Amino acid sequence: MKRIWAFLPLLMIVVLGGFLGWGLNPNRDPSEIPSALVGKPLPEMVLPALAGIDNAGFVPADIAMHDLALVNVFASWCVPCRAEHGPLSELAAREGLALYGLNYRDQQADAVDWLNELGNPYLGIGHDEAGRAGIEWGISGVPETFILVRGTIVHRHVGPLVGEAATRPFLDALQKARMR
């Protein structure tokens, strides 16, 4: 009996070590937070269109009409957004995706200048001045990009869609979304 008990500490340490080892796997990002919205319908908050630029505004009902849509959270003050803008525009054009923009905590004029400079790939843009829509969408930073199938969020990407490592899982998710 005593012999068996003596193994207990070892056993506990081995189990704990197993979890620690799992935690070290390089594909795991400890600061990543899974979105609570995946599998849920998109938030219903309607946002005013960005004035001074030609776009259709951000009406969830419209977004839900598309079989496949992307919602990209961006801001003119966000440096990685600038890097992401070109590749994302290209991707949307190449794949023929309905791309909507959520302009997060931005000044209207700054956002318009930014879009005039870099081009406007968005079908519609919502202006989220107070950051409320950002909370509704459960974002933790900018940029973030959501994939929606008929109004249901199926994937969220955190960070800029630049480079192979970041884009690969996103494209895979997009592929899967097409199948649905």
Partner 1 sequence: MIAETGHFALALALMVALVQSALPILGAARRDVVWMRSAEVTSLAQAGLIAIAFGALMHAFVTSDFSIINVFENSHSAKPMIYKVSATWGSHEGSLLLWVLILSLFGAGVSWAGGNLPDGLKARTLSVQAWITVGFLSFMLFTSNPFERMSFIPANGNDLNPLLQDIGLALHPPLLYVGYVGFSIVFSFAVAALIEGHVDPAWARWVRPWTLAAWVSLTGGIALGSWWAYYELGWGGWWFWDPVENVSFMPWLLGTALLHSAIVTEKRDTFKSWTILLAILTFSLSLFGTFIVRSGLLTSVHAFAVDPERGIYILGLLGASIGGALTLFAWRAPQLEPGGIFAPVSRETGLMLNNLLLATATATVLLGTVYPLILEALTGEKISVGPPYFAMTFTPLMVPLILAMGIGPHLSWKRADLRGVLQRVKWSIAISVLVVAIILWRDFGGPVMAAIGIGIAIWLLLATLADFAARIRFWDDVRGSFARVRRLPRATFGMVLAHTGLAVAILGFTGSSLWKTETVVFVQPGDQIEIAGFDVTFDGVTEVPGPNYIARQGALTVDLNGRNVEVLRPERRYYPVADTLTTESAIRHTLHGDLYASLVEPQGEVDEGTWTLRILYEPLINCIWIGSVMLVFGGIVSLTDRRLRIGAPKRKVQLSVPAE
Partner 2 sequence: MIRALMIICALASAAFAVEPDEILVDPVLEQRARDISANVRCVVCQNEPIDSSNSAIARDLRILIRERLVAGDTDNEVYTFLVDRYGSYILFRPPLNAATLPLWIGPFLILFFAIFGACFAFRNTERSPKKLSSEEEANLQRLRDEDNA
- The minimum distance between CB 172 and partner 2, in angstroms, equals 20
Q: Which among 43, 40, 39, 33 is positioned nearest to 136, based on CA atoms?
A: 43
- Cα separation, 142 vs 150, in Å, equals 24
Interface with partner 2 includes 27 (CB under 8 A)?
A: no
Interface with partner 2 includes 71 (CB under 8 A)?
A: no
Interface with partner 1 includes 6 (CB under 8 A)?
A: yes
Query: Binding residue for partner 1 (CB under 8 A) from 19, 94, 175, 179?
Result: 19
- Which range touches partner 1 (CB under 8 A), out of 14-22, 48-56, 64-72, 96-104? 14-22
SS (H, E, C) 97-120: CEEEEEEECCCHHHHHHHHHHHCC
Q: Which among 51, 99, 97 is positioned nearest to 74, based on CA atoms?
A: 99
Question: Cβ(60)–Cβ(38) under 8 Å?
Answer: no
Q: Is 32 helix (H, G, I), strand (E, B) or coil?
A: coil
Give the residues lining the site for partner 1 (CB under 8 A): 2-3, 6-7, 9-10, 13-14, 16-17, 19-24, 26, 30-31, 33-34
Give the residues lining the site for partner 2 (CB under 8 A): 5, 31, 33-37, 78-81, 105, 130-132, 134-143, 158-160
